[in-house]
Structure 1
């Protein structure tokens, strides 16, 4: 089989195995993401794997550069990548994506054992509560301003027709057109 046929067969197998699995995402026919662990789990991580043209004869590119992994230390990322690359070397020349993903799932605890989650986010609930407590102040009008407004309006609180020239121009323009 040629390299492209191997890739096509593995791609079909991955699509059928991980169909409907929210952990697996096909970015392109040669680029994939796989989340190891649950979304809420502080020890979960996202593996990016990209196939070169000569895959599976040559090693795929393994990366943890996704934004999802920003809370993971550089040392932990390097450990995960080096351990995954060991698995790549052991499986070189064969279809290995399923093997890599399953190996990462099985070894998640040992890969993330030295991980210390970084807490940098401010809880959203506290910012929402402080904003909702602030009340908007209405503009305070003086007695003179209030008198001027009421003297300009009729008994319904509406300004008389033509109080500004826009209405006058509209009337003139409409009579000119007819």
Structure 2
């Protein structure tokens, strides 16, 4: 097998298929840009918020060959992958060396890209003895478009779930919580405990208030005149009676007006009892 002739024929076929998406780096190395279909790319922009040109400041590192042939200065727009080939001397009897030089707009992780590259290498091994570049590029296009569709569907489902939860929350807010025998029993238990605790605190508060409101001996004496008479009934022979007139010596005792008023009330009560 004439390896150089086989490789030259394959490269000629690739030029006619991929046109400016093919960039020749040397006689045995080239890169092919794989783009998502425009309709799918537009949906990805709307759903995933992808920019029209995710690499507007990049040109993928390829501007064509030294003579400006077989290269495009236009930056790829939308989701795209650049798959680079390096053909060994004995290709296609051995698999080509392949790698990704650009993987843009598909929202893939490094693990996903690494797994996809391993998948392509396995496919190349299955096609030993025949030109495999077109097969690899076609398979790559299908896979990256499948990945993009999956990302779009996941995003749509997440948005739908978000809206569903918001609507459910609004419905619950409007309707209120549905009462079931179980929920009522739980509420009744909490209510009874709260009422028992409130009654306990109220009773404790009344006991405290009753202690605070306990009257002094003088207040009891002033509020109940029967207390003044009760002492007279207990007097026995030999007991000395108190002359209430002794308490009227206010000028000599230096009592102020407030004390005078209080004492006069007591004296008046005593006089009434002795009369």
What TM-score comes out, normalization by structure 2 length?
Answer: 0.36
Contact 1:76 / 1:112 at 8 angstroms: preserved in 2?
no
Q: Which has the higher helix share?
A: 2
Partner in structure 2 of residue 69 of structure 1: 103
Displacement of 1:99 in angstroms is: 1.4
Partner in structure 2 of residue 40 of structure 1: 77
Partner in structure 1 of residue 4 of structure 2: 4
Q: Distance in 1 between matches of 2:28 and 2:149?
A: 31
Q: Give the paired residue count.
A: 111
1:1-178 equivalences in 2 (<5 Å): 1-18=1-18, 21-37=19-35, 39-42=76-79, 44-64=80-100, 66=101, 68-69=102-103, 73-111=109-147
User: Whose radius of gyration is greater, 1 or 2?
Assistant: 2
Contact 2:85 / 2:97 at 8 angstroms: preserved in 1?
yes
Partner of 1:107, secondary structure, is helix
Partner of 2:20, secondary structure, is coil
Displacement of 1:111 in angstroms is: 4.8
Q: Distance in 1 between matches of 2:125 and 2:149?
A: 23
Displacement of 1:36 in angstroms is: 1.5
Displacement of 1:22 in angstroms is: 2.9
What TM-score comes out, normalization by structure 1 length?
Answer: 0.53
Q: Distance in 2 between matches of 1:77 and 1:95?
A: 24
CA RMSD, Structure 1 to Structure 2 (Å)? 2.5
Displacement of 1:79 in angstroms is: 1.5
Contact 2:81 / 2:104 at 8 angstroms: preserved in 1?
no
Q: Distance in 1 between matches of 2:149 and 2:119?
A: 14
Q: Runs of 5+ in structure 2 lacking a partner?
A: 37-75, 152-275
